[in-house]
Amino acid sequence: MADRAAREIRGFLLYERVLDRAAQRALVENVRAIARAAPFLVPVTRRGTEMSVRMTSAGAFGWITDRRGYRYEPVHPSGVGWPPIPERVVALWRELVPEARPPESCLVNWYGPDARMGLHQDSDEADMAQPVVSVSLGDDALFRIGNEERGGRTESVWLRSGDVIVMGGAARRLHHGIDRIKAGTSDLLDVPGRINLTLRVVT
């Protein structure tokens, strides 16, 4: 595959429509199976504010936030182990970031039509030299990329179903977030909304 074309935005690499419709559908089925084993959670910040996305995970570690703060946990709060990361996204990881260590976590974010994700840095991982690979499914989402420090100018790009982003190198420390979802732009899911999968090395 090595010759896929990427669009670069501030060091983020955007691979458009990497997953075809059949692969997207199969991945949605994988996500449904993950959610049956490890149900979606309502993430709550340390201050007690509910986030608008719903979250679960696959892999050796899942990313959790609750009144105790942000962290990776080896099991779902129910006590069950996180299900394995779907093989097709592990294959994508190997293809797009062959030099990286194997992924240890696949965070699954569910966005309803009104969900968003504020500008944040991904900084809970021990080895920041390892990239993050993110897959979008369902409705279009407006992704905003900022700077290493808070504030300053930002750039936005629409992410569509089947798109994949690689965040590595200097871009690994940039703020980024999802401003909004454009409901009804995809008919992949039975309901309006978006699924995002983010693969990471945690240790």
Q: How far is the C-alpha of 52 from the C-alpha of 116, rounded, in Å?
A: 6
Contact between 125 and Fe ion per CB under 5 A: no
Q: How far is the C-alpha of 23 from the C-alpha of 14, rounded, in Å?
A: 18
196 binds, among ligand MD6, Fe ion, none (CB under 5 to 8 A by kind): ligand MD6
Q: Choose which of 14, 27, 157, 178 interacts with ligand MD6 (CB under 6 A).
A: 178
Classified as helix, coil or strand, 169 is helix
Q: Going edge to edge, which strands form the sheet with 176-182?
A: 117-120, 176-182, 140-145, 155-159
Query: Nearest distance from residue 139's CB to Fe ion, in Å?
Result: 18
CB-CB contact of 102 with 21 (8 Å): no
- Report the residue number, 81 or 182, with the smaller CB distance to ligand MD6: 182
- Report the residue number, 37 or 147, with the smaller CB distance to Fe ion: 147
- Report the residue number, 90 or 165, with the smaller CB distance to ligand MD6: 165
Q: What is the 3-state secondary structure (H, E, C) of 56-78?
A: EEEECCEEEEECCEEEEECECCC
Contact between 139 and Fe ion per CB under 5 A: no
By CB under 6 A, the count of residues binding ligand MD6 is: 12
Classified as helix, coil or strand, 142 is strand
Q: Interacting stretch for Fe ion, rule CB under 5 A, among 12-20, 72-80, 86-94, 115-123?
A: 115-123
Structure tokens at 24: 């997207």
For the beta carbon of residue 115, count every other beta carbon within 10 angstroms. Answer: 18
Query: Nearest distance from residue 120's CB to Fe ion, in Å?
Result: 6
- Report the residue number, 80 or 142, with the smaller CB distance to ligand MD6: 142
Residues 93-152 that bind ligand MD6 (CB under 6 A): 109, 117, 122, 132, 134, 143
For the beta carbon of residue 120, count every other beta carbon within 10 angstroms. Answer: 11
Residues forming the site for Fe ion (CB under 5 A): 122
The residues that touch ligand MD6, with contacts defined as CB under 6 A, are: 109, 117, 122, 132, 134, 143, 165, 167, 176, 178, 196, 198
